[in-house]
A and B are shown apart, each in its own frame.
Chain A
Amino acid sequence: MTVEQIGSEGKDQFPIGMRVLAVDDDPTCLLLLGTLLRRCQYHVTTTSQAKTALKMLRENKNKFDLVISDVHMPDMDGFKLLEHVGLEMDLPVIMLSANGDTKLVMKGITHGACDYLLKPVRIEELQNIWQHVARRKKKDRCNSGSKDKPHPDSGEAAGIGNVDNNGKLNKKRKDQNEDEDDERDENGHDNEDPSAQKKPRVVWSVELHRKFVAAVNQLGIDKAVPKKILELMNVEKLTRENVASHLQKFRLYLKRISCVANQQANMAAALGTADSAYLRMGSLNGLGNFHTLAGSDQLHNAAFRSFPPSGVLGRLNTPAGLGIRGLPSPGTIQLGHVQNSGHPTNDLSKLQSFVPGNHNTNILQGMPMSLELDRLQHNKSVGHIGELPTTDSTTVFPGSGKLVDARITGFSNNPLLGVTSNSLMLEGSSQQATSHTSVSAIGFQNGNALSDFTSIAPASYQLQDSKAGSQGQASPINCNAGQIIRSAPQEWNAPRKDAPYQSHASINSSIPINSAMIQLGQCLDRNNSIFHRTTDLDSVGPLNFVDPLSIKHGEGDNSIMEPSVIEKEGYLMFQPRPHGSHVPDNIGSLEDLASAMMKQEGGCNGYSLRTSI
């Protein structure tokens, strides 16, 4: 039975019955908007909280056809929500604001809004919003190739009916943008059901996205074409069109991140690493980010793959956020902070020495991030870090477990980068609800200074817990960051974080982050390929932080983590774990990581690293 037939009353009379989700913190405006929409005969659901809206959307991706959201909201920036929805659910989103500044409207466009309305909104304007839904459906239909749509009219049925079963990971063919397809003109893979009228949406789960990012990383962001990616991913029922549209989004995401990254070069650069941007993408990209960064670095691919959790790390690398500016040691960045507790970058430089992955440098350089690679000398290390996770963990994302991966990324040389990317990553993950994301991304923000971390950390937490929203999880990912963050995190996540921190603290106790980093760095340095070594990564304390948190908290700290926080930091991705003690005991993974590191390095004790630095 075609989906369209379900609830066909509405569908047949499209746009009547179109399901709209309205989000606005102002109750007066919300009531007015809801009433206006009902007057247009749409089926309306209203909420004043962006987080609630996201939750509703995630519960059932096919429950709504369109989202209208205010720009200024207290719990989450409207643009962040917009991004999440675009990436996760691929629904048309209309922005609403009393402010019609060109800049704001432009921002809406770059974030993917399909329209921007000014308040007070009039009914005439709302009567036409169905066109956005129709347009999308039409595109989907075209993309899918076979146009067996039972409903000839504006794709309502297909679009609307495009429902997979709730929450199921249906990899049905969903063609979003043909662009990629057109350009490449490759034959899509067998479509599971070319003639199906309904084109179920492909749900890009964390797992799937991770594979995607891994594939992209492997091919190199420039050479990644949907067909090859599809082959690499080897997922049945996934079509080239699906991959193509996802790739397109991913690229946009990367681009956006890099813009942001540039701006945040200072802060994010060091830590955030583009990853964060990717994280936003929904963590899917995690790896993807790395690609951009590493480009040249093959390490990423290989390395990252191995680190599943590193997803987060991947982010870090993403140059996007990497404001790495001079983050001496990618991983260290965080450490740096720790030591100085305030001078993240400076210290980091010291730490950088250990930056493990010399390879990373490549990564960093590759990274579009504005990071000042030069400064970063250690970029190498950063590079590593970023790389590692990305491939594997499919970017940091949220996949709670993923964070671990992400961890590493954060450390990659760009302390800042790492952070930034982390944040990105985390965000992404939030979608996944798997706490993983948050952790990783945030950690790295260090770039600028602990303060960044703090901000980052919270962000990261959020990502991680995407689900629970309990940012606390984000915790310690980067111990380093954690330290710094420690102070900060309390603000946001407090609840969880405390727990993780403590565990981590145990590890380093004194140098919490630094040592962690150092160890990491050492391990990294030696191994350059450390990243590659999954085991290493784990040991990479700092990275682990992310992990443990994520893992542990996987429960789902809000994935959304305060987009604002993340954004600010640029890449906070991993931060979540402020505890700073980089090796979270509780995290378990961290411990392993730490021990692994130790083993590898032959006692890379954090302290020892210091000397190396």
Chain B
Amino acid sequence: MERNPMRRQLAIMRQSLFDQGHVDEQFVQLEELQDDANPNFVEEVVTLYYRDSARIILNIEQALERKPFDFRKLDAYMHQFKGSSSSIGAKKVKAESTLFREYCKSGNGEGCMRSFQQLKKEYATLRKKLGAYFQLARQAGPVETASRPK
């Protein structure tokens, strides 16, 4: 169905996002909301997510610099982060957030720090992959119902 090689590549890239567990079903929901009236919806939401989540990550980092840890606050931040991550379907990031919160609840500072490092890594990876994906999507052009010669 992908006549266009770019589109094909895009499809492959998209599939790998799912296969590698970076995004989940929720991402599909986002895609389904994209239509002619909202042609760049997915990218818009994800961009908004980056902005907001970057702020939260910064807050968490700062909170982790203060000893002793304020677990309640850390948990609150992470709850927020998890909420928005799950909204865009960021699967791995969400899983790591859950782990972080577990550590917070049990007061495990060491665990929190480790988990947070891992979370940041996953987050960075996701951003990179999605970034590449959207870039390609833009290049590939809007999806045409009928193939058109370029």
Contact = CB atoms under 8 A, between A and B. Distances in A.
Interface in A25-75: 26-29, 31-32, 35-36, 39, 72
Contacts of B51: 27
A36 B49 contact: no
B45 A31 contact: yes
Contact of A28 (B32, B38, B52, B76): B52
Interface stretch (B66-74, B79-87, B136-144): B79-87
A110 interface: no
B61 interface: no
A72 B81 CA distance: 12
Interface in A251-278: none
Contacts of B38: 35
Interface string B13-37: 0000000000000100110110000
Given A72-B79, A120-B26, A27 B33 contact: no
Interface string A90-101: 000000011100
A26 B84 contact: yes
The CB with the most chain B CB atoms within 10 A, among A32, A36, A72, is that of A32
B44 interface: yes
Contact of A32 (B30, B53, B79, B82): B30
Interface of B is mostly: helix
Interface string B47-62: 0110111000000000
The CB with the most chain A CB atoms within 10 A, among B29, B30, B44, B88, is that of B29
B93 to A, nearest CB: 13
B48 A31 contact: yes
A119 interface: yes
A122 B48 contact: no
A120 B86 contact: yes
B45 A26 contact: no
A123 interface: yes
B48 A28 contact: yes
Contacts of B86: 98, 119-120
B48 A98 contact: no
B79 A120 contact: no
Contacts of B30: 32
B34 to A, nearest CB: 9
A122 B30 CA distance: 10
A32 B48 CA distance: 10
Nearest to B33: A35
A32 B44 CA distance: 10
Nearest to B83: A98
Nearest to A119: B83
Contacts of A119: 83, 86-87
A26 B52 contact: yes
A68 B90 CA distance: 24
Contacts of A26: 52, 80, 83-84, 87
A98 B88 contact: no
Nearest to A99: B79
Nearest to B30: A32
Contact of A98 (B26, B29, B79, B89): B79
A39 B79 CA distance: 27
Nearest to B86: A120
Contacts of B48: 27-28, 31
Contacts of A36: 29, 33
A119 B88 CA distance: 10
Nearest to B51: A27
Contacts, number: 55
Nearest to B44: A31
A28 B41 contact: no
Interface string A111-154: 00000000110110000000000000000000000000000000
A26 B33 CA distance: 19
Contacts of A97: 83
A99 B44 CA distance: 25
The CB with the most chain B CB atoms within 10 A, among A29, A97, A120, A123, is that of A120
A47 to B, nearest CB: 16
Interface string B107-148: 000000000000000000000000000000000000000000
Contacts of A122: 29
A119 B41 CA distance: 19
B18 to A, nearest CB: 16
Given A35-B38, A119-B86, A28 B49 contact: yes
Nearest to A36: B33
A72 B72 CA distance: 14
B88 A28 contact: yes
A120 B89 contact: yes
Given A35-B38, A72-B80, A29 B87 contact: yes
Nearest to A98: B83
Contacts of A35: 33, 38, 41, 45
A35 B52 CA distance: 18
Contacts of A120: 26, 29, 86-87, 89
Contacts of B45: 28, 31-32, 35
B72 to A, nearest CB: 13
Nearest to A122: B29
A558 B52 CA distance: 28
A98 B86 CA distance: 8
The CB with the most chain A CB atoms within 10 A, among B32, B49, B83, is that of B83
Nearest to A124: B29
Contacts of A123: 29, 32-33
A122 B29 CA distance: 8
A218 B17 CA distance: 68
Given A120-B26, A120-B29, A32 B80 contact: no
Contacts of A39: 33
Given A98-B79, A99-B79, A29 B29 contact: no
Contacts of A28: 45, 48-49, 52-53, 84, 87-88
Nearest to B85: A28
A15 B45 CA distance: 26
Given A32-B30, A32-B87, A98 B82 contact: yes
30 contacts: A26-B80, A26-B83, A27-B48, A27-B51, A27-B52, A28-B45, A28-B49, A28-B88, A31-B44, A31-B45, A31-B48, A32-B30, A32-B33, A32-B88, A35-B33, A35-B38, A35-B41, A39-B33, A97-B83, A98-B79, A98-B83, A98-B86, A99-B79, A119-B86, A119-B87, A120-B26, A120-B29, A120-B86, A122-B29, A123-B33
Interface of A: 26-29, 31-32, 35-36, 39, 72, 97-99, 119-120, 122-123
Given A31-B45, A36-B29, 19 more contacts: A26-B80, A26-B87, A28-B88, A29-B87, A31-B48, A32-B30, A32-B45, A32-B87, A35-B33, A35-B41, A36-B33, A72-B79, A72-B80, A98-B82, A98-B86, A99-B79, A119-B87, A120-B86, A120-B87
